[in-house]
A and B are shown apart, each in its own frame.
Chain A
Amino acid sequence: MAVTASSSATTASQTGPEADARPLRIALIGNPNSGKTSLFNQLTGLNQKVGNFPGVTVDRKTGVAQLTPTQRAEIIDLPGTYSLYPKSLDEKVITDLLYDKAADNYPDFVVVTVDANNLRRSLLLFTQLGDLGLPAVLALNMMDVAERHGVNIDLPALERELGVPIIPMNARKGIGVAALKIVMAQRLDAPPVGFWQPDEQLLPLVRQLRYYFNLHNDYLALHYAQQYRQISFLSAEEKAHIQELVQQAGFDATTAQAAETISRYARINEILLETVTVVRTEKREPISNRIDKVLTHRVGGYLIFLGILFLLFQAIFAWAQYPMDWIDQGISGLSAVIQANFSGPLVRLLTEGVLAGLGGVLVFIPQIALLFGFLAILEETGYMARVTFLMDKLMRPFGLSGKSVVPLISGLACAVPAIMGARTIESWKDRMITIFVTPLMSCSARIPVYTVLVALVVPDQAAWGIFNLRGVALMSLYLLGLFSALGSAWALKKLLKARERSYFIMEFPVYQWPRWKNVALTIYQKVKAFVLQAGRVIMAISVLLWVLASYGPGQQQATAEAQARREATTKGWDAAETSRQVASARLETSYAGKFGHVLEPAIRPLGYDWKIGIALLTSFAAREVFVGTISTIYSVGQDADMGTLQQKLSAEKDANGQPFFTPARAFSLLVFYVFAMQCMSTLAVTYRETKSWRWPLAQLIYMTGLAYAAAFVVYQVLA
């Protein structure tokens, strides 16, 4: 297999770029904070594909770059890493891609991004890639900062030493990107220079592996010896064979790897001695360190963090309200216009099914955009790393680490990418606990439910002077989620046996202004994913639900309708009340109504009726469906009432003619939604990340149980 791959690669390089059938495939690789993401965005712009939902892998972000007017290339963005020895799952993606020349995605060459201020450490990864025999270009990033710091690099000499083209650049500002594209458009050869050779005494082992697997170089064979356990494409048999060889040779992976790293550094120091001179112009502490003195201050640090979180909530709940109102009114206005001019079942399907469902999705775009924008800014500026630093000791008693804070905060946006974000946590136990509790953080899919129900029962007035009462209620729901996550983590810590040590070694990125283009791109991608992914599900469920709610078995609906009309005549109701009663009777005898009634006994202790039962059932797939369902259910047959969902819910009456949504019912529902695991995507991603059904099942049972118990207590106490 390896033979065919290498022969086809040779043919490709002989025929040249013009006669190429498939576009170049280029992998972007580099240390964390080396400007890789900026470069990726510069190269690909809006031509990116990010999979943040199950079925699509998030591991490899890909995009298309237009290198020359006639040539395009596929760019694969790899997670940031310090070496080719993966420590976390995140980094394993890289070795999986680079070990197998025959793989579909094997890149034609790699672009290595390197921080010019941090050449020594950055070159460690570069020399490893070079020794793997990968053709490479070095993108020497942050040249401006290096110059300011008095770092002087002799580029031609460094190019000679490393044996690859070097492009000096400033990826943030886009300087050097054009030059890089020109170099990328050419086929490149592997660097002729070897940086490091395995030790004499390892050669027999290395040769045996090379022969057995038909590998193209020694260093790759050594990596097989080091990491065979984690290489996903090797069969159990092949792994056993390697293990045997490794044991025969008395090979100790840890010592070998440490010795390799040390001798690579020695070689790199030699190279740098020849090519780089540093004249420190200023002896003052870098600005970043001075900012750290404030942001990680004993008291101030936490206060600032709390302040930022508070600002985040204010943004989501106060500022987002205006655009949300416009969208809401726009949709109900459109619906009204259509209903006023047309009629028939198809129009009703359009307005009560499709538009009602669509409104339930679109209205949350402002909140989701703000939330992801905020998180992107925190990440971009480098502040997120400081948050993990501040929180590490606080998190440890709960069985979490500082690194768990990022998934937990991202969980405020969506548990799916958050759970994948836990891949950066090296310790198995820390990571499992983080994955398990992250869905308890109130994600953006709960925002719709929270907003609607809080607005229904909490008055819009000031509290203690500065706060808005609704804002306080929302903040409390978020805190409830947070504390339940911490409590569950603590319990899990007691239950789980640790298999390995947890550690926390992390580089602090230098503070910088957020790159607004990156922030905008993140917002665009997240909103798009939300509208397309969640939107599709919600639309499908809305339409299905409309059908189920509009039609019923046999003649039951007609009978119930006739009965309601008779009652109306005897009790002398007016026209509006009559049509309301008729619609209600029809819904109750519809298929949806039947389902709801079956469920009702189980949820009556929580204060819910069959209508909410339908919503609970449908929103099991995804929470945000709740609002869509509710608006569909309360829209069916109510053609005279064009009001917003809020008005419809307030108008809902119970059997005694009192408002149905009492504080007890609303809070019980709110608490249910804080805890319940109603998200297929999360369960799927937990399965994928833990590779076992035990974890998602445990999550499902635990969270649903917690939700039921908590909602029960709330309703019984308040009612």
Chain B
Amino acid sequence: MSLFRRSPQKAVISTATRRTAKDLRLGETGTICCLEDPEMALKLLEMGCVPGVQVRLSGRAPLGDPLMLVLGDQEYTLSVRASEAATILLKE
């Protein structure tokens, strides 16, 4: 499994079906599959957004952005912008 999918067009999953952390509904949980954007990925990895880890959307800022993501089993809360959450692909 490669970590990055540099261009969504060439990705195995078609753009129509791929889900990201941004698409989670409030309270819904997903599992991180891979990180799409190499530059963002480094930061996210160090903050614990590692493939295989569970991620739950626990809240949104009053204006809808940024998002509050809970990583792992209630381990800790990360705040990311919606555009950044969109680079975290989820397992189907």
Chain A residues with Cβ under 8 A from B43's Cβ? 87, 426, 503, 505
Bound-state CA distance A356–B38 (Å) is 61
Q: Assuming the A-B contacts A262-B50, A390-B61, are A257 and B42 also in contact, with contact meaning beta carbons closer than 8 angstroms in the complex?
A: yes
B44 — which chain A residues lie within 8 A by C-beta? Answer: 505
Tell me the bound Cα distance from A296 to B58 in angstroms.
Answer: 11
Q: In the bound complex, what is the Cα–Cα distance between A302 and B63 (angstroms)?
A: 11
Chain B residues contacting A254 (CB-CB under 8 Å) are 38-39, 42
Contact across chains for B66 and A504 when beta carbons are under 8 A apart: yes
Chief secondary structure at chain A's binding surface: helix
B41: CB under 8 A from chain A? yes
Q: Which A residues between 39 and 76 are near B, CB-CB below 8 angstroms?
A: none
Q: In the complex, what distance in Å separates the CA atom of A320 from the CA atom of B80? A: 39
The answer for the CA separation of A392 and B64 in the assembled complex, in Å, is 11
Chain A CB within 8 A of B33 CB: no
Query: Cβ of A402 < 8 Å from any Cβ of B?
Result: yes
B62 to A296, Cβ gap below 8 A? yes
**A265: B residues at CB distance < 8 A:** 45, 50
CA distance A278 to B75 in the complex (A): 11
**Contact call B39/A501, Cβ cutoff below 8 A:** yes
- B59 with A296: CB separation less than 8 A: yes
Q: Does B11 contact A (CB under 8 A)?
A: no
Total number of A residues with any Cβ neighbor in B under 8 Å: 48
**Contact assessment for A280 and B79 in the assembled complex, using a CB-CB cutoff below 8 Å:** no
Residue pair B80, A504 in contact (C-beta under 8 Å): yes
Q: Is B77 an interface residue (CB 8 A)?
A: yes
A254–B4 CA distance with the chains assembled, in angstroms = 11
Q: Residue-by-residue, is A160-185 near B (CB-CB < 8 Å gives 1, otherwise 0)?
A: 00000000000000000000000000
Shortest Cβ distance from residue A266 to the other chain B in the assembled complex, whole angstroms:
9
Q: Does B47 contact A (CB under 8 A)?
A: yes
> Is A293 interfacial (CB 8 A cutoff)?
yes
A278-289 vs B, Cβ < 8 Å mask (1 yes, 0 no):
101000011011
Shortest CB–CB separation between residue B74 and chain A, in angstroms?
Answer: 6
Most chain B CB atoms below 10 A, which of A259, A388, A390, A503: A503
A82-B47, A280-B73 known; A508-B78 Cβ under 8 A:
yes
Asked if B13 is an interface residue, CB under 8 A from chain A, the answer is no
Please state if A506 and B79 are interface contacts (CB–CB under 8 Å): yes
B89 within 8 A of A: no
- B53-82: contact bitstring with A at CB < 8 Å (1 yes, 0 no)? 000001101111110101011111111110
Quick check: A393 and B46 within 8 Å, CB to CB? no
Q: Is A301 an interface residue (CB 8 A)?
A: yes
Is A21 among interface residues, defined by CB-CB distance under 8 A? no
A117–B75 alpha-carbon span in the complex (Å): 7
Chain A residues, Cβ within 8 Å of B23: none
Q: Is the CB of B38 within 8 A of A392?
A: no
Asked whether A83 is an interface residue with its Cβ less than 8 Å from the other chain, the reply is yes
Q: How far is the CA of A392 from the CA of B62 in the complex (A)?
A: 10
> Which chain B residues lie closer than 8 Å to A289 at the CB level?
58, 70, 77
For residue A300, which residue of chain B has the nearest CB?
B62
Which among B70, B76, B81 has the highest number of chain A CB atoms within 10 Å?
B76
B53 CB → nearest A CB, Å: 9
A390 CA to B76 CA, complexed, in Å:
18
A389 at interface, CB cutoff 8 A: yes
Q: Is A507 a contact partner of B41 (Cβ separation < 8 A)?
A: no
Q: Are A506 and B73 in contact (CB under 8 A)?
A: no
Per a CB cutoff under 8 Å, which of A258, A503, A507 touches B45? A258
Say how far A426's CB is from chain B's closest CB, in angstroms. Answer: 8
Partner of A503 from B40, B62, B75 at Cβ < 8 Å: B40
What CA separation (Å) do A489 and B52 show in the bound complex? 41
Q: Does A292 contact B (CB under 8 A)?
A: yes
Q: Is A118 in contact with chain B by the CB < 8 A criterion?
A: yes
Bitwise interface map of A from 258 to 286 toward B, beta carbon under 8 Å scored 1, else 0? 11011001000000000000101000011
The answer to whether A393 touches B66, judged by C-beta atoms less than 8 angstroms apart, is yes
The contact of A297 among B41, B62, B68, B81, by CB within 8 Å, is: B62
- State the CA gap A552–B19 with chains docked (Å): 80
Say yes or no: is A255 at the interface (Cβ < 8 Å to chain B). Answer: yes
A residues in contact with B40, CB < 8 Å: 503, 505
Bound: A181/B61 CA distance, A: 43
Nearest A-chain residue to B41, judged by Cβ: A258
Give the distance to chain A from B45, nearest Cβ to Cβ, in Å: 4
Chain A residues within an 8 Å CB radius of B66: 389, 392-393, 402, 504
Does A558 count as interface, using CB distance less than 8 angstroms? no
Q: Does A298 sit within 8 A of B, measured CB to CB?
A: yes
Given A85-B46, A505-B43, CB of A393 within 8 Å of CB of B61: yes
Give the 6 A-B CB pairs with smallest separation, nearest first: A508-B77, A393-B63, A82-B46, A121-B48, A298-B62, A261-B45
